[in-house]
Structure 1
Amino acid sequence: MKDHYLILAGLGFATLIMAWLPSFAKKIKVSSPIILLLIGFGIYAAAIPLGWPSPIWNDEWLMYFSETIVIISLMGAGLKIGSHYTLKSWRKPLLLVFITMPICMVSAYLLGSYFLVLSLPSSLLLAAILAPTDPVLAAEVQLDDPLAEKSPEDNVRFTLTAEAGLNDGIAFPFSYMAVLVAQAGSWAAFDLTGWILDEFLLRIVLGIIIGLAIGRLIGYLFDRLHHVTGVETFVGFLSLSLTIMTYGLSELLHGYGFLAVFFAGFSLRYYEKVSGDYKKKLHDFITEVEHLLLVVWIILFGGSIMSGMLTLTDWKGVTFALLFVLLIRPLAGMVPLIFVKKEKMKEKLAISFLGIRGIGSVFYLSWAFLKFDNFTHKNELYAITAYIILFSIVLHGLTAPSIINYFRGKAERSSDLEEN
């Protein structure tokens, strides 16, 4: 019984801290995941028996937990994007998805094959899991006011929000590719045409359509129920219900659930007949759930680091992780932005640098290991992913708040000048 009470006290303390942590993190200008990671180290050192990873997590448990956090974060990201963002505004996030992401993947694959000397399926999997920017750990660099309906006050935050919402789903086909190549036994035996038509095209299109349709339908129901029956919907937990339902339904209908969830939130956010106050309530509730689950995830991640996760790769894995965070993503991010002439260089540098990696990568990794249990270098892939997440938490956590505050302050000064 003592262990039971220790667990309750430890988790209660950690989640209680989260109530003040965002404000405290803003004051000291660091991202809250850094502080949560330190709390995780402390709870592990205090020997609170949370069932720590030792050091590898159970694949099935890890997949379901990571999956839950990611879809909740994607719903929040969709609900943040207001209707004042025009098709032209989407140019930069689409460039990041269709140019930057492939460059990152090709770079990771080549380094995986020739520097880390991984097998073909493992190199493909490494490239796939590092493709998405993370909507969870990157929440603090995304849009934060769903009621803001003036002109886009921050191109950097919008671009990062939209990129995270899009590429978490578009990365899924490449995880499928790695699994299918591993199952086939060689690249020559892999059905490339079938993969393009089904896993790449069909499932992406279905995910987007299903998400847009569900968001629109739910918005219509919210509106008509009030006008026809007088029933007013004003409970925030419906955003969680919508998230789970959309994800499950999309996967059952052969669409990518990550894309469906993001576009459901996006579609509902655009439905004009649903009041802005209610949209904000939906967003705020899903964000609080996300923060709660993030506390648990990072604490356990801290425990996995303390119990030896980082020792499962050598200096090559550490070097690869640093190269990916500090060199590959920033350079790949700059490539498409060079052609965006109206964007200022400081904004381009910020967008390219803040390609935060995190929980989405862990989901894809555990998902692939459950789909095919004979991947070589399993422990090394987990360790490399852990290093990349750790470097991203620390490096981006120390720099992102100052970067975002700079652009937020610049936007506010511009707004004040326009009003005067």
Structure 2
Amino acid sequence: MAYSAQQLITHGDLGVFSIELYDVALLLIGCGILIASIMPRLAAKNRSITAPMLYLCLGLVIFRLPWAPELPDLMNDIHWAKRFAEMGVILALTSAGLRLNSPFAWNSWRISWRLLAVTMPLTIAASAWLGWWAAGLLPVSALLLGAAIAPTDPVLAGDVEVPEPNGPEESTSRLALTTEAGINDGLAFPFTNLAIALALVGLAPSGWLGGWLVMDVFYKITAGALIGAGSGYLVAKIIFSPLSKITRGVLALSLTLVPYGLAELASSYGFIAVFVAACVYRHYESSHEYQELVHDFSEAIVRLMIAVLMFFVGAYICCGIFALMTPAMWGVAFAIVFLIRPLSGLIALVGTGLPRRQRLAISFFGIRGLGSIYYLAYGLFHADFPDAMRIWAIVLAVVLISVVIHGITAVTVMQKLDAEERKGKFKLMWKRT
């Protein structure tokens, strides 16, 4: 093998300047970190443009350039999408849990339980039916679409969630959307696993019903919640001890990684464990000044993950996946955002006594994003699904629509609701004592 540096001197061979994908990736990540520190300020000057929208547009632009690297294949390299989206979601779940000032109580979370028990199953069923009936997906593929698209997204929902620990009184709308995003990212797992089971063993209930109910529904949800509560308490005891004064910034990461790792080792749901752990930690010495420090640390990491992940969403959109979209598939994507989620949300909120504007806002702002990408990647990683690339196209279309439409409207609408709630026009679901 020739020594490339000497070949350059002797023969003018420019092979010494060869470009490796790893180096390009490092450059892009470095640029993403820089941009993530600048974008929020630019977005703050224009409420109709959010940071995720700017990252997505950046991916669209860069991957149209001739020197852009080739993207990993969404089928053959599915593991990278699964792992990257997974990390973004669990970090965002920690951040969401750390924001909550409200206690675990039926009164304070009663809207959230309705959204989880009614809105989520209705969204799964309606999205799956529409994917089968309108888009022509096979039943197992349609079920995977419904399961993937059901969870609201804690990563992109910062504009509609509660602001920060010990901040202003939490509005009912923000509290409901924050807790829904935190919990339903774990509760989408049983339905995704159901789609995987049907893809592996067929539609006959004898091949999957017992195992699905016992393991995927009962055991994994219960174990995830218990592991999250225990590990959250343990991490809080360590972080708030005198031993951790020097390394608290590093220990903050353990609030995400310890419960997630323990839950996954126990074959339970790590997403549920992470959110529960963050909530338990939040209410351990809840007025301590370090609550805000840990929250700010996790928020900084989440902002970086948003930059990188939305950049790649824009890149895949740019690289032609929407060529698979038919008019019917576009209709399904728009219906999920504008019809299915709002209508199923309004059904869940019947009888709550909330004013109409609050019910409309809670129902409409079911933001879709990286949670949907994770669940789709998870399903495709564990089983072969017909129409896999068509599901990818629909999910990315829903994410694009949600990022743009919800991004344009969220700040203005939520600020108006906050102002009216502070003036006493709306009744808060709970009061801090």
Q: TM-score, normalised by structure 1?
A: 0.91
Which amino acid in the other structure matches residue 413 of structure 2? I
Q: How many residues align?
A: 406
Distance 2:386 2:244 in 1: 56
The answer on 1:344 being equivalent to 2:355 is: yes
After superposition, where does 1:17-416 map in structure 2 within 5 Å? 17-29=35-47, 30-53=49-72, 58-83=77-102, 86-148=105-167, 152-223=169-240, 225-226=241-242, 232=245, 235-272=248-285, 276-341=288-353, 343-372=354-383, 374-413=384-423
CA displacement, residues 247-282 of structure 1 (integer Å, 9 cap, x when unaligned): 11101112210000000000000112x653211111
- Does the C-alpha gap of structure 1 residues 48 and 165 become closer, same or farther in structure 2, counting only changes over 3 Å? farther
Which amino acid in the other structure matches residue 352 of structure 1? S
The 3-state SS of whatever aligns with 1:293 is helix
Which amino acid in the other structure matches residue 419 of structure 2? G
Distance 2:229 2:201 in 1: 35
More displaced 10-residue stretch of structure 1: 231-240 or 169-178: 231-240
- Does the C-alpha gap of structure 1 residues 87 and 188 become closer, same or farther in structure 2, counting only changes over 3 Å? closer
Could you tell me which runs of 5 or more consecutive residues in structure 1 were left unpaired when the two chains were aligned: 416-420
The 3-state SS of whatever aligns with 2:289 is helix
Kept in 2: contact 1:55–1:307 (CA 8 A): no
1:116 Cα deviation after fit:
2.1
- Does the C-alpha gap of structure 1 residues 185 and 76 become closer, same or farther in structure 2, counting only changes over 3 Å? same
Kept in 1: contact 2:74–2:81 (CA 8 A): no
Q: TM-score, normalised by structure 2?
A: 0.88
- Does the C-alpha gap of structure 1 residues 43 and 412 become closer, same or farther in structure 2, counting only changes over 3 Å? farther
Kept in 1: contact 2:238–2:244 (CA 8 A): no
1:213 Cα deviation after fit:
0.9
The 3-state SS of whatever aligns with 2:368 is coil
- Does the C-alpha gap of structure 1 residues 106 and 231 become closer, same or farther in structure 2, counting only changes over 3 Å? closer
Kept in 2: contact 1:238–1:282 (CA 8 A): no
Kept in 2: contact 1:147–1:277 (CA 8 A): no
CA displacement, residues 191-250 of structure 1 (integer Å, 9 cap, x when unaligned): 212211210011101111110111112222334x32xxx653662332222211211110
Which amino acid in the other structure matches residue 200 of structure 2? Q
More displaced 10-residue stretch of structure 1: 188-197 or 171-180: 188-197
The 3-state SS of whatever aligns with 1:140 is coil
How many percent identity over aligned positions? 34
- Does the C-alpha gap of structure 1 residues 57 and 44 become closer, same or farther in structure 2, counting only changes over 3 Å? farther
1:7 Cα deviation after fit:
5.2
Kept in 2: contact 1:237–1:282 (CA 8 A): no
* Aligned-residue CA RMSD (Å): 2.2
Which amino acid in the other structure matches residue 220 of structure 2? R
